[in-house]
Amino acid sequence: MKTMPEKLTLMYKKLYASFGPQHWWPGETPFEIAVGAILTQNTNWGNVEKAIVNLKDADVLKPAALNDMSHERLAALIRPAGYFNIKAKRLKNFIGLLINEYHGSMSGMKQEDFNSVRKSLLSVNGIGPETADSIILYALEKPVFVIDAYTKRVLSRHNILDHDASYEEFQSLFQSKLKEDISLFSEYHALFVRLAKENCRTKPVCTGCPLEGM
């Protein structure tokens, strides 16, 4: 019988052996990563990319430009990402925090300690635990394990945790059983997403799954 750290490490090794490094997050700057994290809420990444291209083409993928923009124009630009009205508000809320508390720069946010950044991100309407942790891990490069629907599905199917367990329960499982390591946390989460896109979408048990037999 394997211990939990062994199990989680083996799972990571199997995914990494099958898919290789994912080099996440797909974004060029910390600010772009944060914008992408908000836009991808319950949304296919391909649609998010279209929205980000629109922002880049309009030369407005920067805090001040988005802050000055009307709701209507921003919503129109991010339209392909879906939920465009609510996401336009969420982007504005995030940028409000960035400007008011961190001098409008992601590097200002990065200098803050982990606990206070997470707390202030979570205080923003429209930023929940997954979005906050994605920003903290991939844009601010601080070690936190990101939990998403895929992570919950894989772990519950492998009877490691109940699907209805809380975000914090899933997160503390990884964070207590694995070495605190930014590249490990980054790759592991990305590999769960890759696995889901690859073959574990609807079937309870996937044939040819890298995790088969675990």
Binding site for DNA (CB under 7 A): 24-26, 36-37, 40-47, 50, 79-80, 82-87, 124-132, 134, 138, 148-150, 164, 193, 196-197, 201-202
Rounded to whole angstroms, the Cα distance separating 44 from 125 reads 22
Residue 103 or 203: the one with the smaller Cβ distance to DNA is 203
Residue 37 or 66: the one with the smaller Cβ distance to DNA is 37
Which of 103, 93, 87 is CA-nearest to residue 38? 87
Q: How far is the CB of 159 from DNA (least distance, A)?
A: 20
Q: How far is the CB of 180 from DNA (least distance, A)?
A: 20
Q: How far is the CB of 192 from DNA (least distance, A)?
A: 9
Residue 10 or 86: the one with the smaller Cβ distance to DNA is 86
Residue 10 or 123: the one with the smaller Cβ distance to DNA is 123
Q: How far is the CB of 184 from DNA (least distance, A)?
A: 16
Which of 98, 112, 80 is CA-nearest to residue 29? 98
Rounded to whole angstroms, the Cα distance separating 144 from 1 reads 28
